[in-house]
Structure 1
Amino acid sequence: MTRRIDRLSEDDRVLWNLVARTAKPLKGKAAIVIPDIVVDPKPTPVPAVGSPVVAAKPKTQHVSHALDEPTLDKLKKGRLPIEGRVDLHGMTQDEAYSLLFAFLHRAHAGGIRYVLVITGKGSSSGGDGVLRRSVPAWLSTPAFRPLVSSHDHAARNHGGSGALYVRLRRVRA
């Protein structure tokens, strides 16, 4: 009898990570703690006494990646197909980040151009939702830059301010 060795697909790996985070150790067993990797920031040089202090120019962290108007109008009116969608409702930031990255990576590899990311509108207590604020910032980070070309808020019929249209970059041959 031969033993079959299966490799986990990206979907299975994401699902397993979501489930593994909710697991509790058995009574009497110690939980395995995996330390986070901490990168020490570069020490800032201390200016000498009496030397003039020059303020450093702040780096622009967030770059606007809005969709162009004709494309946005076509998406809103349904003339441009949304080829994939992912719903991040009810997830923690870590779970949502993992799922979003895996989803966009698969969609990009599959040659998909336009996807809908549903974040939800947030808590009913009047505040903005955490994912609603975080996802646009994530899409502008270096991790997502090779995948995402631009993004913008969705039309009302696609979720309004609780969803985003995302245009993925073309796959280079």
Structure 2
Amino acid sequence: MRRRRGLSAEEARLWAGVARSAIPLKGRSYPPLPPEVRVEKPATPAKPAAKPNAVLAPVRPKHEPPVYLSQHAIEKPTRRKLAKGRLAIDARIDLHEMTQQRAHDALVGFLRQSQAMGLRHVLVITGRGGTAGSAFGSRGVLRRVVPQWFTGPEFRPLVSGFDSAERHHGGDGALYVRVRRPR
């Protein structure tokens, strides 16, 4: 028979907080809160001084979403309609297995054609990419660079906004794109 491990002080404190959010049964009371456990942080060693001529690049955490310059996200009501299928996706392009140059050329041509045809909302499928150790060595390059392309001067006249797609349209590996109206 397995022995159950007891709750740590932090787990007990969290559980008591959750239990206090519920109404207790008749004849029962709220569980007592255990005393808080203070954890002393170890002293951090002093950082060495940077070289005076060194150029430090800004560091962004991996979980922070990328910042898109001068592009607007698709409005929430429009995005919700696209996701639920109440607003049709006029066309789609799949960039899987393409090199960056080939994908760039195909995407420019697709968006120019979509704009000429008067299409408003399209789906661009970039793929999610594999892990660093995958058989193909792919790490989602197109997934990262396509949003950067949209902020560039070549795509600005074609794209008025974009946002990540819902799971059933490709999730992290696809983008809803609003095509700019021709001038």
Q: Same fold judged by TM-score > 0.5?
A: yes
State the alpha-carbon separation in 2 of the partners of residues 112 and 123 from structure 1. 32
Specify which of 164, 174, 178 is matched with residue 163 of structure 1.
Answer: 174
Equivalent residue of 1:111, what SS?
coil
Q: Is the 8 A contact 1:65 1:140 kept in 2?
A: no
Give TM-score, length-normalised by structure 1: 0.62
Q: How do 1:107-122 and structure 2 match up within 5 A?
A: 107-122=114-129
CA RMSD in angstroms comes to 1.8
Q: Find the counterpart in structure 2 of residue 123 from structure 1.
A: 130
Q: 1:104 and 2:115 equivalent?
A: no
In the superposition, the TM-score normalised over structure 2's length comes to 0.58
Select the structure of larger CA radius of gyration.
2
Could you tell me how far apart the structure 2 residues matched to 1:61 and 1:109 are?
25
1:10-51: per-residue Cα shift (whole Å, max 9, x none)? xxxxxxxxxxxxxxxxxxxxxxxxxxxxxxxxxxxxxxxxxx
CA distance in 2, matches of 1:120, 1:129: 7
- 1:74 aligned to which of 59, 74, 81: 81
Q: Answer whether contact 2:89 2:123 (CA < 8 A) is retained.
A: yes
Change (3 A) 1:61 1:76: closer
Q: Does 1:134 align with 2:141?
A: no
Q: Distance in 2 between matches of 1:151 and 1:134?
A: 14
- Mapped to 1, the partners of 2:81 and 2:140 lie a distance apart of 27
Between the aligned residues of both structures, percent identity stands at: 56
Q: Which residues of 2 match residues 1-173 of structure 1 at below 5 A?
A: 62-125=69-132, 128-172=139-183
Return the alpha-carbon distance in structure 1 between the equivalents of residues 124 and 96 of structure 2: 10
Aligned residues: 113
Secondary structure of 1:135's counterpart equals: helix
Secondary structure of 1:107's aligned partner: helix
Change in Cα spacing, 1:61 to 1:118, as seen in structure 2 (3 Å) is closer
Question: Which stretches in structure 1 are left out of the alignment for 5+ residues?
Answer: 1-59
Question: How far does residue 118 in structure 1 lie from its aligned partner after superposition?
Answer: 0.2
Gaps of 5+ in 2: 1-66
**Is the CA contact 2:68–2:147 (under 8 Å) kept in the aligned structure 1?**
no
**Distance change in 2, residues 1:153/1:61 (3 Å):** closer
